[in-house]
């Protein structure tokens, strides 16, 4: 049985029911928690304060963390959290990131002067307004030929932000494009293929599938320090920059730096980012680790029956 997250209070009961019906069954928990949530669990489980001001679901979710011992396999999506969570839960924790399906590297000749972000634009935690403000501050001599594309669903809250932005910055408003929700995967992939720069300014994020897909399509990434998996996604120099969460000035400086950095880069530069990411995050390779662990646990379960 594969369980995602730890936040559902019914999780322990699902595990007990599954084990009762199938004693030799294997329970795999894909934890999927960002760094801030790990800190919250840690403080609740072992700290002096119980955070009475947190809502019931959050407090109960922290209690559920102690029940992960009922799971046969537990994994996290970033190297940074492997040892931390293992020490927290007093058990083995695997590194199993999200992956990409095997395909050819992007054609670098498709790249255009596009900065993009793919996210739920309506969510304040994504801090899209930080990116928009930073875009307006780019030196025109540097970014005049660049377009910002914001891909993702949005509602009234973000529409009001965008409308005000267009009034406040009429000179750049036509360079900031909203696509709305993109349901067609091919359409989204085509956008990743065209973009040169992908920006994720989130306040907090665990493993960003959008950032992974962008890198898989050869985009130069700019990720906030709130993205827990940033060092996993950009494991070597030349793949992107890290910005301070919520810092418009830093975002502006990194955008300008990225544009300058990419000026003399040819198609092969983007193709290398793409092929490197596709190789490191191939589902075929990632799942070998999980498959080996499942087989190991299965043998032990068989011996104990």
- pLDDT by residue (tens digit) across 181-198? 999 999 999 999 999 999
Percent of the chain at pLDDT exceeding 90 = 68
Q: Which is more confidently placed, 288 or 58?
A: 288
pLDDT-wise least confident of 74-83, 108-117, 121-130: 74-83
Q: Which is more confidently placed, 151 or 58?
A: 151
For all residues of the chain together, what is the average pLDDT?
89
Tokens of 16: 């007990």
pTM here? 0.89
pLDDT for 141 beyond 80 = yes
pLDDT for 302 beyond 70 = no
C-alpha–C-alpha distance, residues 218 and 275, integer Å: 8
Going by pLDDT thresholds of 50, 70 and 90, the confidence category of residue 60 is: very low
Please report, to the nearest 10 degrees, the dihedral formed by the alpha carbons of residues 57, 86, 40, 281 taken in order.
Answer: -80
Domains, the chain: 2-98+282-304 (no CATH), 108-280 (3.40.50.2000)
- The mean pLDDT value for 120-146 works out to 96
- pLDDT by residue (tens digit) across 264-275? 999 999 999 999
Contact at 8 Å (CB) between 72 and 28?
A: yes
C-alpha–C-alpha distance, residues 177 and 200, integer Å: 16
């Amino acid at each position: 049985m594969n369980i995602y997250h730890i936040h559902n209070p019914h999780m322990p009961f699902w595990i007990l029911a599954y084990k009762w019906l199938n004693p030799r069954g294997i329970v795999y928990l894909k934890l999927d928690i960002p760094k801030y949530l790990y800190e919250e669990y840690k403080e609740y489980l072992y700290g002096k304060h119980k955070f009475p001001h947190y809502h019931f679901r959050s407090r109960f979710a922290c209690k559920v963390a102690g029940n992960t011992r009922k799971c046969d396999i537990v994994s996290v999506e970033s190297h940074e959290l492997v040892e931390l969570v293992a020490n927290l839960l007093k058990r083995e924790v695997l590194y199993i990131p999200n992956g990409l399906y095997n395909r050819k590297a992007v054609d670098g000749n498709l790249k255009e002067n596009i900065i993009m972000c793919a996210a739920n634009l309506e969510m304040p935690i994504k801090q899209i307004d930080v990116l928009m403000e930073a875009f307006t501050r780019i030196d025109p001599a540097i970014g005049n030929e660049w377009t910002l594309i914001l891909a993702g669903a949005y509602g009234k809250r973000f529409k009001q932000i965008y409308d005000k932005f267009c009034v406040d910055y009429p000179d750049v408003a036509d360079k900031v494009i909203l696509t709305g929700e993109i349901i067609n995967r091919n359409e989204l992939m085509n956008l990743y293929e065209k973009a040169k720069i992908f920006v994720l300014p989130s306040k907090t994020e665990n493993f960003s599938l959008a950032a992974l897909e962008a890198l898989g399509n050869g985009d130069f990434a700019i990720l906030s320090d709130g993205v827990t998996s940033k060092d996993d996604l950009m494991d070597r120099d030349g793949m992107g920059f890290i910005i301070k969460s919520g810092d418009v000035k830093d975002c502006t400086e990194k955008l300008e730096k990225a544009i300058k950095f990419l000026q003399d880069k040819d198609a092969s530069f983007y193709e290398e980012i793409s092929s490197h990411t596709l190789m490191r995050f191939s589902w075929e390779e990632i799942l070998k680790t999980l498959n080996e662990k499942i087989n190991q646990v299965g043998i032990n379960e068989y011996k104990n029956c």
